[in-house]
Amino acid sequence: MNRVHCTRREFLAAGVAGAVAASLGRAAAAAGESTVTGELITRPVPATGERLPVIGLGTNAYGVSDPEEYAARREVLERMPALGGTVVDTAYGYGDSELVIGRALKELGHRDRLFLATKTPIRGEIVDAAGLVEESFRRLQVDMLDLVQVHNLHGLDTFMPILLELKAAKRIRYVGMSTSSDSQYPAFLEGLARYPLDFLQVDYSVGNRTAAERILPYAQDKGVAVLVNMPLGGRRGPMFGQVREQAVPDWAREADIHSWAQFFLKYVVSHPAVTCAIPGTTKVKHLLDNQQAGRGRLPDAMMRRKMEAYWGGM
């Protein structure tokens, strides 16, 4: 490891941020911070029938070294299960995100209340694939992972046999692979045909619906669970910037939608192939908004078409 990485590790071992986080958590509770309401929406993992809440947590921005930023992320991880969310998705390639999450979950002591998913390295020469996977266990400070995915197909044929062995040994509960690029879809479908996958992860949103053409129908037909990355926009641009000066249309309230985050997320999770959306979330106020999208009514087929038409006309 390089010097910068070691320095961050020293920070992650320190106790200062934990005290800051505890203080923030107490302050939020004292302020009577609002929570979410309505019936929790869950979807089954086709391989087992295990049900997961439809809104999870993406952690691409969790590799922090500042005590206040660490405290904010720790608070999100602390509040999430109380709000009904369980799925936390990270990756070896997200800087020190695995280290931050590992430390926070150890401090909080509620790893058993979360569905913890990670991904293999996204780039670089693969010299010791098994060792790289073990590194994720060590960084996250766990003996078992709920899901490990081959990230953006990098080293698929090298990593997947190792992941399947770990699944057989009951150190990994589910295996999968991910992509966030339309250009990888043909290779993605080939991988789905070759390996017995439990999950796939793909980019999908009301502003980027390409995955609905082939990937989502394939997953639904073959009984593969789907995590959705970039549900709030991504490579084609963040969607919030396009609605900054506009109110959510009144008709969206028929699906219990009261914010743009809920508009975007409920569109995604109302697709029957989608198991869980994992919006990047670093603040509790955004966590509350996002988790509310996982409760109450969902758009039906007619409203989904209306949402698509509305977005296309902007």
Determine the angle formed by the axes of helices 284-292 and 67-79, rounding to 10 degrees.
Answer: 30
- Give the SS3 label for residue 218: helix
**pTM higher than 0.85 for the full model?**
yes
Q: Is 124 left (phi over 0), alpha (psi -120 to 50) or beta?
A: left
What are the tokens at 101?
């999450």
- Give the SS3 label for residue 121: coil
Is beta strand 172-178 parallel, antiparallel or unpaired with respect to 145-150?
A: parallel
What are the tokens at 249?
């249309």
* Residues facing 145 on adjacent strands: 172
Strands, E assignment, the chain: 42-44, 51-53, 57-58, 87-89, 115-119, 145-150, 172-178, 199-203, 225-229, 233-234, 237-238, 276-277
Identify the structural domains of the chain with CATH numbers, from first to last.
Answer: 3-312 (3.20.20.100)
Q: Which of 25-39, 203-217, 235-249 has the lowest mean pLDDT?
A: 25-39
- pLDDT at res. 125: 84
Instruction: Report the alpha-carbon distance of residue 135 to residue 275 in Å, rounded.
Output: 28
What pLDDT digit, counting tens, does each position of 259-312 carry? 999 999 999 999 999 999 999 999 999 999 999 999 999 999 999 999 999 999
Instruction: Report the alpha-carbon distance of residue 54 to residue 26 in Å, rounded.
Output: 28
